[in-house]
Structure 1
Amino acid sequence: MDKLIYTVMTGAERAFHAQQVHANNLANADTAGFRADYEVAGTQAVPGYGYDSRHQSTGSTDVVSQRTGSVRETGRELDITVQGQGLIAVANGNGEAYTRSGVMQVDAQGNLTIQGRAVLGDGGPVVLPPFRKLAVAEDGTLSILPENGNEMQAVDRLKLVDGSRPLAKNLSGLLVSRDGATLAASETVRVRSGALESSNVRPVEEMVAVMDISRQFEIQMKLYQAADGMVEAGNRLLRD
């Protein structure tokens, strides 16, 4: 009976974890540049002597959907969308991470940020001098019209990387390479100014997945009750 209980309880735990993953995807259906997580199920043997035939299910969320979201025009000069599988590099602690969100902001000190994180350029975090107008070229070059000038001047270039390799998310929800390596700047990645990429979450798919997982959880609970009933029947036979 304990073999069935191992299977049932770990299966129920995996279903609960999967429901959290899909719920988080749904919660970010309107988050610009958000990449949906996939819940991946697996199995492993229960460690310890005498448990060779016992197995339990496992779940992980280190797989990120690579499909692109729809693009909507905003007309805002600091909004950009990365074309293809490109990514924008941002500061993350002492290193860097990557994002598809192109909602950029400039603070009072001229720091260019995305969600409070410094945007990286050719020489590190991008810091802009006072300007009246900002333009972002297709290759990520940042040009400004100085407060006391009449011509646009190139001041830096966004670090854009190729994100077609396997990616995962760190604890901050930013994208990183699965092997932990820093991605090199790409000369082929292009951006589009005045537009944002929507989340690549498909709400209908996520809702269907949540309902299917709920049914799986119910089945696991019924199997648990069946296992409990068989144990009780066995105990009665032993007592008799």
Structure 2
Amino acid sequence: MDKALYIAMTGAAQNMLSQRGHANNLANVNTTGFKADWMQARAMPVFGDYYPSRVYAMTERPATNYDQGSMIQTGRALDVAVAGEGWIAVQAPDGTEAYTREGELQIDVNGILRTGSGLPVLGNGGPVAIPPAAKVEIGGDGTISVVALGEEVQEIAEIDRIKLVNPPAEQLTKGEDGLVRIKPDAETAGQPVPPDAFVKLESGYLESSNVNAVEEMTEILSLSRQFELQVKVMRAADQNTEAAARLLQIS
């Protein structure tokens, strides 16, 4: 059977993988603090007992776009956006430390400060716990201040500080859960990232996704056309095989 059939099949499969990546970006166009993944295709020569005149196409995710999204003013006291570079430290479902820019914070029934997706926000000594309060404020440096129930507005107490970090971008990787972590092969892997005092928050704002919906839709349409071309190549290779079989039968 002609190897072109396998090459076209591989190309179609890789097109589908790339479409999944762009579709995921597009699906999170309205997700607070979401960072888009870059997708690219790489040519892989086919080696064997013949001249490597054909290549496979391999889809891969080379990196994540960490550019800042636009700032959306909400006026809500528990909404925060990282101004510039930096991350908010959270506790991942497996108990490890991870990082996000999702600043739509909320307080659960137990007083634990959580992100909009339910992850505990880390402070100086673990997850931030907020006592019953009439008012909660988050400062630009992550300081959390409250006015206790029954107290005067002037009696503000500082209870904790959100852990804000800013590790080098080349040491970061984004997982399938959307959280950012230190790469396993980085020098600081397995060690907690120290807080960075230069990371600042904007209270009353949220950071939008940095996904460009028009670009993602254009890429999806382009990949759909490429998929159709791969299917046509598979059909042509199958037809060539059938024609060759008929010639052999005649001979």
Residue 64 of structure 1 aligns to a residue whose secondary structure is: coil
> Of residues 150, 157, 165 in structure 2, which corresponds to 1:153?
157
Call closer, same or farther: CA 1:78–1:99 in 2, change over 3 Å: same
Structure 2 matches for 1:130-149, cutoff 5 A?
130-149=132-151
Please identify which structure carries the higher strand content: 1
Question: How many residues in Structure 1 have an aligned counterpart in Structure 2?
Answer: 239
State the alpha-carbon separation in 1 of the partners of residues 84 and 50 from structure 2: 48
More moved, 131-140 vs 176-185: 176-185
Corresponding residue for residue 97 of structure 1: 98
More moved, 182-191 vs 75-84: 182-191
Structure 2 matches for 1:194-213, cutoff 5 A?
194-213=204-223
More moved, 73-82 vs 178-187: 178-187
**8 Å Cα contact 1:165/1:177 also seen in 2:** no
State the alpha-carbon separation in 1 of the partners of residues 202 and 157 from structure 2: 19
Runs of 4+ in 1 over 6 A off after TM superposition: none
State the alpha-carbon separation in 2 of the partners of residues 52 and 101 from structure 1: 52
Residue 117 of structure 1 aligns to a residue whose secondary structure is: coil
Residue 169 of structure 2 aligns to a residue whose secondary structure is: coil
Find out whether 1:168 has 2:169 as its counterpart: no
Corresponding residue for residue 178 of structure 1: 183
Structure 2 matches for 1:2-151, cutoff 5 A?
2-44=2-44, 50=49, 53=52, 55-61=55-61, 63-92=63-92, 93-114=94-115, 115-150=117-152, 151=155
State the alpha-carbon separation in 1 of the partners of residues 144 and 203 from structure 2: 11
**8 Å Cα contact 1:39/1:60 also seen in 2:** yes
**8 Å Cα contact 2:135/2:148 also seen in 1:** yes
Deviation at 1:75, TM superposition (A): 0.5
Q: Which runs of 5+ in 1 are unaligned?
A: none
1:213-235 Cα shifts (integer Å, max 9, x gaps):
11111111111122112222222
Q: Which runs of 5+ in 2 are unaligned?
A: none
**8 Å Cα contact 2:8/2:231 also seen in 1:** yes
Corresponding residue for residue 237 of structure 2: 227
More moved, 141-150 vs 127-136: 141-150
Q: Could you tell me the percent identity over the aligned residues?
A: 43
Deviation at 1:148, TM superposition (A): 3.9
**8 Å Cα contact 2:34/2:178 also seen in 1:** no
User: What letter corresponds to residue 24 of structure 1 in structure 2?
Assistant: N
State the alpha-carbon separation in 1 of the partners of residues 158 and 50 from structure 2: 66
State the alpha-carbon separation in 1 of the partners of residues 144 and 104 from structure 2: 15
More moved, 107-116 vs 229-238: 229-238
Task: Give TM-score, length-normalised by structure 1.
Answer: 0.90
Call closer, same or farther: CA 1:74–1:9 in 2, change over 3 Å: same
Call closer, same or farther: CA 1:164–1:71 in 2, change over 3 Å: farther
More moved, 153-162 vs 178-187: 178-187
Call closer, same or farther: CA 1:51–1:96 in 2, change over 3 Å: farther
State the alpha-carbon separation in 2 of the partners of residues 209 and 65 from structure 1: 16
**8 Å Cα contact 1:82/1:190 also seen in 2:** yes
